[in-house]
């Protein structure tokens, strides 16, 4: 005769044996890190606020510049516009747009240091360099898409407000593409500065010093500082990137060729990114 406890044990269903999960389930790959970094950027309210302000100011400035054409004026920023689109309507305010790019590049990394979540990011990664490269890739993707959308909107505003026809020739399309690249590279430079300084304000101020305040070097009363060096300064490099009509000496006399200017700006950005990677790799969070 069986006891109740014996009966219950016999009737109890067999539990499947637990098996260890495959490493593929929880392994942190570069793609997963990249997706996480993109989510971090796009989930920040400050990211969307900055993009909204950038787009809003861009529309107002572009609309105001294009509206002057309706009064019979064909000269914009020293360039004659004959009923056709010219990138000066957008690149003419490039210095302001670079500041927005700086803010976005800084927020991508300094926000983690400010909220003390960088430690979590480091712990979740088996390689700091993978975490760093995924951050750089995420900033490139988000900034690339956002900048492309903003440029497209501003081009549409220019055509509609000024009653202009599209003209991508004469270096116009190249100037827009290199302006897009300049914005993305500017954001990456400040991302690198963010890893170095770990401060939003410090990173943005560094970007302003590099891009704008360095212009004061041309005040040195030496021929090299007034004629040669300005072409290689950050502001000169970014301005040279957006020159459209390279055959017009009035546009190119003070700048490097677009290709050379792009390489110079890439060198500046690379210095900050490399230093940021070294700082992130060697120091504690």
**pLDDT (average), residues 155-182:** 90
Return the pLDDT at 25. 56
pLDDT band at 224 (very low <50, low <70, confident <90, very high): confident
Closest by CA position to 54, among listed 106, 109, 95: 95
Cβ pair 159, 211 in contact under 8 A: no
pLDDT band at 73 (very low <50, low <70, confident <90, very high): low
Return the pLDDT at 247. 55
pLDDT band at 250 (very low <50, low <70, confident <90, very high): low
Q: Is residue 220 part of a domain?
A: yes
**pLDDT (average), residues 1-7:** 50
Q: Is residue 5 part of a domain?
A: no
Q: With a cut of 90, say whether residue 61 has pLDDT above it.
A: yes
Q: Is residue 231 part of a domain?
A: yes
Write out the residue range of the structural domain in which residue 248 sits: 30-69+81-282
Q: Which two tokens stand for residue 219?
A: 């005040």
pTM of the model: 0.86
Return the pLDDT at 1. 46
Q: Is residue 278 part of a domain?
A: yes
Q: Is residue 22 part of a domain?
A: no
Q: Which two tokens stand for residue 237?
A: 């490099």
Among the ranges given (96-110, 218-232, 261-275), the one the predictor scored with the smallest mean pLDDT: 218-232
Task: Identify any residues that bridge with 51 across adjacent strands, giving them in sequence order.
Answer: none
Closest by CA position to 233, among listed 210, 250, 263, 202: 210
Closest by CA position to 187, among listed 253, 132, 269: 269
**Helix runs in the chain, H state only:** 4-11, 23-26, 30-43, 45-67, 88-91, 94-114, 118-123, 128-162, 172-197, 200-211, 223, 229-232, 234-241, 249-252, 258-282
Cβ pair 204, 106 in contact under 8 A: yes
Closest by CA position to 243, among listed 230, 233, 255: 255
Q: Is residue 141 part of a domain?
A: yes
Number of domains in the chain: 1
Q: Is residue 14 part of a domain?
A: no
| Total count of residues recorded for the chain | 285
């Amino acid at each position: 005769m069986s006891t109740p406890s014996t009966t219950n044990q016999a009737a109890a269903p067999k539990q499947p044996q637990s098996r260890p999960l495959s490493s593929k389930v929880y392994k942190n790959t570069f793609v997963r890190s990249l997706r996480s970094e993109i989510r971090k950027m796009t989930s920040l309210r400050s990211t969307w606020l900055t993009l909204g302000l950038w787009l809003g100011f861009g529309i107002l400035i572009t609309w105001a510049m294009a509206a002057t054409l309706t009064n019979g004026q064909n000269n914009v920023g020293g360039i004659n516009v004959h009923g056709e689109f010219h990138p000066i309507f957008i690149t003419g305010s490039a210095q302001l747009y670079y500041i927005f790019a700086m803010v976005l590049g800084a927020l991508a990394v300094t926000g983690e240091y400010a909220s003390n979540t960088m430690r979590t990011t480091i712990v979740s990664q088996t390689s700091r360099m993978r975490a760093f490269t995924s951050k750089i890739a995420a900033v490139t993707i988000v900034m690339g898409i956002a900048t492309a959308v903003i440029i497209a909107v501003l081009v549409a505003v220019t055509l509609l407000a000024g009653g202009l026809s599209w003209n991508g020739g004469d270096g116009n399309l190249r100037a827009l593409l290199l302006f897009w690249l300049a914005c993305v590279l500017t954001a990456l430079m400040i991302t690198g500065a963010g890893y170095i300084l770990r401060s939003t304000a410090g990173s943005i101020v560094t970007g302003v010093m590099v891009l704008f305040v360095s212009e004061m070097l041309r005040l040195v009363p030496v021929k090299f500082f007034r004629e040669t060096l300005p072409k290689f300064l950050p502001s000169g490099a970014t301005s040279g990137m957006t020159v459209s009509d390279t055959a017009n000496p009035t546009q190119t006399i003070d700048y490097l060729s677009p290709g050379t200017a792009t390489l110079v700006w890439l060198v500046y950005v690379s210095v900050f990114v490399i230093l940021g990677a070294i700082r992130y790799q060697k120091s504690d969070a």
